[in-house]
Structure 1
Amino acid sequence: MDLENFRRESKSEYSSNQKLKNRLRKVKPKVLDEQFSQLNDEVFEEIDCLDCANCCKTTSPIFLNTDIDRLAKVFRMKSSGFIEEYLHRDEEGDFVLNSSPCPFLNEDNKCLVYEDRPKACREYPHTNRKKMHGILTLTLKNTLVCPAVFKIFQQIGKDYRK
């Protein structure tokens, strides 16, 4: 995966994708959900997250208390110790990683805690869920992080760009 090329292309298409996001708000919710779900399945037939892992290299998931407790157990730590070592609160008050890339990302792009990873990681990039209208802003942001989301946006845009 050529991440440098992806970064350039996704940035150059961002304003066009912003306009597309605004047009997508007018699509019936059920139709939008179905389109995203179908494109999600198609795109992830082609793209292997292990070839990229850009999400793990550049952003932090939000850690819920259940995630923190589960991972603290994995590392045989108290939850407070896990927070102290790995997390801080962001501007919105959510727990996020202290640094990127993720400390649990191995050199082969595999996750050290994959079976116990946070809920946000399990659900990322959120393109196959219901109520896509509610997360279009997040999905737009993710076009800059995830090549699959960028490709999904490009595909869905074929039907809605003017």
Structure 2
Amino acid sequence: MLDLKRFEIESNSEYASNKKLKERLRKVKSKELDQKFEVNHHAAFEEIDCLECANCCKTTSPIFIQTDIDRLAKVFRMKSSQFIEEYLFRDEDGDFVLKSSPCPFLNQDNKCLVYDSRPKACREYPHTNRKNMHGILNLSLKNTLICPAVFKIFLEIGKEYRK
């Protein structure tokens, strides 16, 4: 069973080390880095069950792009403007994000009420099995504090690149 309190303590205590690792990873060839993340992504998710955790849904908000808003508004039989008014606000970067956390679409059993229509950012989270990991290393570092799988990926990759 995943202990989110223990994860929070561990991920915070390793943050400085992971920040140094992130800087070392910037020097790794792009293809090699992408491959390391891909392999470790699959290994991490063989061990970690998102439905047991849902920490991302409990603590953060995805960015909602217009197609997400339109799709979810349709699910709830609302106008897009109504959906925005009900659930979203613009953050300091001008992006639409949820007004509150945990996510209003997260059920008690950690299942997503709108899973089939969820935002693109949710579909792709935690973004560790994609191309150009160099471009999102800062985001991935932040995600070590949110997602136990990303934390585990950093620990595994770090075994090879920490000095």
TM-score by structure 1 length? 1.00
Paired residue type of 2:20: K
Structure 2 residue runs of 5 or longer lacking an equivalent are none
User: How much does 1:103 deviate?
Assistant: 0.0
Matches within 5 A, 1:19-58: 19-58=20-59
Query: Structure 1: any 5+ residue segments left out of the alignment?
Result: none
2:85 maps to what in 1? Answer: 84
How many matched pairs? 162
Specify the code of the residue in structure 2 equivalent to 1:25: R
Helix, strand or coil at the partner of 1:66: helix
How far apart are residue 147 of structure 1 and its match?
0.2
Q: Counterpart of 1:6?
A: 7
User: Counterpart in 1 of 2:101?
Assistant: 100
Q: Secondary structure at the match of 1:50?
A: helix
| Aligned-pair CA distance for 1:123 | 0.1
The runs of at least 4 aligned residues of structure 1 exceeding 4 Å deviation read: none
Give the Cα separation in 1 of the matches to 2:52 and 2:35: 27
Q: CA deviation at 1:3?
A: 0.3
Cα deviation per residue 1:17-47 (whole Å; 9 max; x = unaligned)? 0000000000000000000000001110111
SS of the aligned residue for 2:97 comes to strand
SS of residue paired to 2:73: helix
TM-score normalised by length of structure 2:
0.99
Query: Percent identity among equivalent residues?
Result: 77
